[in-house]
Chain A
Amino acid sequence: MNNTIHRALDRLYLACIWLAGSCIFLMSLFIPWGIFARYVLGTGSQWPEPVSILLMVVFTFFGAAVAYRAGAHIAVAMLTDRLPERAQHVLRGVVHGLMLCISAFMVFYGTSLCMGTWGQTIPDLPWMPVGAAYLPVPLGGFITLLFVLEHVVFGSQAHRPVVLFDALPDHTTATPDSKDA
């Protein structure tokens, strides 16, 4: 059972990485296309800019969920490291609770924002509802919520093979200032 959960979340994790990675990949092609259109085709292309910005938003919220599971977010461990283990344990619990709260808020208020703005469209991209552009907030929040729950129940997953897949052969990717939350 536990294994099934981890495996499912591993797949979700990979899906987020691929989604975020594809966003960067496409952005890196769209913006140069805009330059090409300006010089070679003589007239500016209007869509690369707003579309790339949307991809960046998608990247941010799905990437942030990935970074959470990998324990990569920047945190300050100065005070907590000096406390006795018991107190550290309590504070970790508080932080987990707050992480659950903010993810839940992103899901709830993000959804309400999407619904409230679904009837409007983005001036630059007339086919795109504003609400759709806000979708990454509740979706990214929901995935973060799942990863936080997993962390609370099973402990940090930052050492799973799928998370460590990108580790360099040596220590150079270490980001020791980022504390597991």
Chain B
Amino acid sequence: QNMVLKAHDTHPAGYPTVVAVENMGKKLDAATNGRIKVQMFPGAVLGQEKEAVEQAQLGAIQLARISLGVIGPVVPEVDVFNMPFVFRDIAHMRKVIDGQVGTDLLDKVSASQARLVALGWMDGGARSLYTKKPVRTPADLKGVKVRMMGNPLFVDTMNAMGGNGISMAYGEVFSALQTGVIDGAENNPPSMFTSNHFTTGAKYYTQTNHLIIPEILVMSKVTWDKLSAQDKALVKRVAREAQMDQRALWDKSVEEYTGKLKAAGVEFIQIDTKPFFDATAPVRTKYGAKFGELMQRIAAVQ
């Protein structure tokens, strides 16, 4: 029967994840002669990610691009990607999610109580530090208040890196940077630009790449169960293509926004990340103990 898949994304229109899912919709439309379409709701207009997951579970929406943070409470294994410096670099992360580890984790999510079918991975790039004064070593971070995502692990990561981790709602970060409540934050270049954070005086972007956390594209189990076997295979295939499509869009976007940030006066600082890697070892020990085997499998991927 005809169906319109309502897709949710907290990122704004034009963002690589949004475009990739829209492209996926066009492919579905063409392959099914208009029987299956995708209607995109970008920019969190239907709620934040936590609500998106719950709506997908109920079948109110069909597709959602979500961070692992909201899946972690149901499928703890995915939290392994939250560990600081768990990947050597972006290329390593891509090899892992494209390979057996990635597939296993997707299957775990689909088989869990989450009532979601994990279709594929999306690239969230690497999160690096941006601050109001240049940072090159952990010592430079002393007394620097950096906003982290609201999870004790991330706050501990920043504290271990030498700064003061402050958890704060993302919507508050812009004015908090502007007024000086915090001295810095951390994210990838496209988000730093689109959230306007570069206009607040935080113009030193230190490429720590401390967190490389892929994101995930899920479908409502309610909807999935309504698809024919043939349609299921089709959706899986275009979702895998979207994973690769998004990656190309992402690289282009990082390049574009890095250029824009540089043009706006942001200084990109290349550093040796080893001291930060070493400093965060206790965090990996504390939070990563339960992922021991998984972390070995990830490290073994060349």
Contact = CB atoms under 8 A, between A and B. Distances in A.
A–B direct touch, CB within 8 Å, in complex? yes
Interface of A: 38, 42-44, 46, 49-50, 113, 116-117, 119-124, 126, 130
Interface SS, A side: mixed
Contacts, number: 52
Interface stretch (B65-73, B85-93, B133-141): B65-73
A116 B57 contact: yes
A42 to B, nearest CB: 6
Interface string B142-166: 0001000011100100010000111
Given A43-B159, A120-B74, A38 B58 contact: no
Which of B54, B165, B167 counts the most chain A CB atoms within 10 A? B167
A144 B150 CA distance: 34
B150 A123 contact: yes
Which of A50, A116, A122, A123 counts the most chain B CB atoms within 10 A? A123
Which of A46, A49, A122 counts the most chain B CB atoms within 10 A? A46
A103 to B, nearest CB: 21
Nearest to A43: B164
B263 interface: no
16 contacts: A38-B145, A42-B164, A43-B166, A44-B145, A44-B155, A44-B167, A46-B152, A46-B167, A49-B167, A49-B169, A113-B54, A121-B73, A123-B50, A123-B69, A123-B150, A124-B151
Contacts of A42: 164
Contacts of A44: 145, 155, 164-168
Contacts of B74: 119-120
A42 B57 CA distance: 40
A67 to B, nearest CB: 25
A119 B71 CA distance: 12
Contacts of B270: none
Nearest to B67: A123
B296 interface: no
B169 A122 contact: no
Given A43-B164, A44-B167, 12 more contacts: A43-B159, A43-B166, A44-B145, A44-B165, A49-B169, A113-B54, A119-B113, A122-B50, A122-B73, A124-B150, A124-B151, A126-B73
A165 B74 CA distance: 47
Interface in B54-81: 54, 57-58, 69-70, 72-74
Given A46-B152, A123-B70, A116 B58 contact: yes
Nearest to A45: B167
A50 B155 CA distance: 15
A118 to B, nearest CB: 10
The 4 A-B pairs at the shortest CB distance, nearest first, are namely: A44-B166, A121-B73, A124-B150, A46-B167
A4 B2 CA distance: 57
A44 B166 CA distance: 5
Contacts of A117: 54, 57
A119 to B, nearest CB: 5
B172 to A, nearest CB: 9
B54 A130 contact: yes
A126 B153 CA distance: 12
B73 A38 contact: no
Contacts of A120: 73-74, 114
A68 to B, nearest CB: 26
B72 to A, nearest CB: 7
Which of A44, A46, A116, A117 counts the most chain B CB atoms within 10 A? A44
B72 A123 contact: yes
Contacts of A121: 73
Contact of B166 (A38, A50, A122, A124): A38
Contact of B73 (A43, A46, A123): A123
Interface in B151-196: 151-152, 155, 159, 164-169
Nearest to B149: A123
Contacts of B150: 46, 49-50, 123-124
A113 B164 CA distance: 38
Contacts of A46: 150, 152, 155, 167
